[in-house]
Amino acid sequence: MKPPKIIITKKDAWKIVLKAKEISKLKSNQKTYQIRVNIRNKCISSTYSCDSKKLINMNFECENKLLSKINMYLDIIFHQKINPYFIGHLAQSIDGLIATKKGESKFISTKENLEHVHLLRCISDVIIVGYQTVVKDNPQLTARIVNGENPMRLVIDKDNKLNNKFRVFNNIDNLGFKIISSKYKTKNHNIFTLPLTKGRFSGKDLALLLKKLNKRIVFIEGGGSLISSFFKDNIFNRLQICICPILMGGGKNSFLKTTSKSIDEINYERIKYYQMGNDVLCDIELSSRCE
């Protein structure tokens, strides 16, 4: 007679995801991954199948919506795509806005989506944000809510305007960096340089830099103009849009630049939906990538 399955909580699920991240650093390009983690003096074990994109042979059980989220994170961690793997995330109102007319953008989404963002940070190797996001929000960009390891934080600052007073640069882990135009000369250890193409960094150049730095999973967290730019460059493997049940009536659009593609040319491999409190997360796998 088989022993009863172990019931796991949301925090237990996070531990499974974080253990998977540890495993991914040691093993790669496998079809299956064994995941074992000790929770409350019990061994939680399962196998992740890259072919079916889900956990199999589990000795635990949980709500279906929680299991779906675990599989989403493991799909990112154990991705089979070319490196680096790019993820973008935006939280927007029903009318497609990410900030009010006054620029207020914090706390549009629920606590559940904030936890999701922190877990995305934790399973990523680097987080990238734009200059305006740092100036307006002064974010830490750490994974403090889920108690995981902080990734490298990289700010797009082409004109080299940001100093180290911002929190993204002065965390004790010393993982805050920025990218500036190659026309500026610097010896700072936390600065990378790239050439500008038509006034901005190309997605291809950025991907090559991150590949040289051995960054496997890249999380583009914002803002809207940066995500729009990378979307136009066809760099994303995955794009997540969190739809929040509020109407702003005016403000900053989530996507600031249009794509030249027609509707028929925009191809998605897969779209899934996840409940994040009162929000709905649209998880979109994109079929094309900047090589």
pLDDT digits (tens, 9 = 90+) for 146-203: 888 899 999 999 999 998 899 999 888 899 999 999 999 888 889 999 999 888 898 8
Tokens representing 176 are 């805050």
Q: Which residues contact 137 (CB under 8 A, 6 or more apart)?
A: 105, 106
- What's the pLDDT at 186? 85
Bond into 223 cis (ω within 30): yes
Closest CA to 286 of 85, 99, 151: 85
Cα angle for residues 147, 169, 189 (degrees, 5° grid): 115
Q: How far apart are the first and last CA of the chain?
A: 52
What is the spatial distance between Cα 115 and Cα 226, in angstroms, rounded to a whole number? Answer: 22
Q: How far apart are CA 5 and CA 282, in angstroms?
A: 31
pLDDT of residue 101: 61
Helix-, strand-, coil-residue percentages of the chain, each rounded to 5: 25, 30, 45
pLDDT in tens, 243-269: 999 888 777 777 655 555 555 565 667
Domain ranges across the chain: 6-77, 85-286
Please state whether the predicted TM-score (pTM) of the whole model is above 0.85: yes
Measured N-to-C along each axis, helices 64-77 and 111-123 cross at an angle, to the nearest 10 degrees, of: 30
Write out the H or E segment, with its range, that includes residue 112.
helix 111-123
pLDDT at 12 over 90: yes
Query: Contact 185/162 with Cβ under 8 angstroms?
Result: no
Contact 278, 114 (CB under 8 A): no
State the sign of the Cα–Cα–Cα–Cα dihedral 250, 254, 257, 263.
negative
Which tens digit of pLDDT belongs to each residue from 65-102?
A: 999 999 999 999 999 988 899 999 999 998 888 776 66
Instruction: Say which amino acid occupies 246.
Output: I
Higher-pLDDT residue of 226 and 222 is 226
Secondary element (H or E) of residue 272: strand 268-276
Q: Please state which architecture CATH assigns to domain 85-286.
A: 3-Layer(aba) Sandwich (3.40)
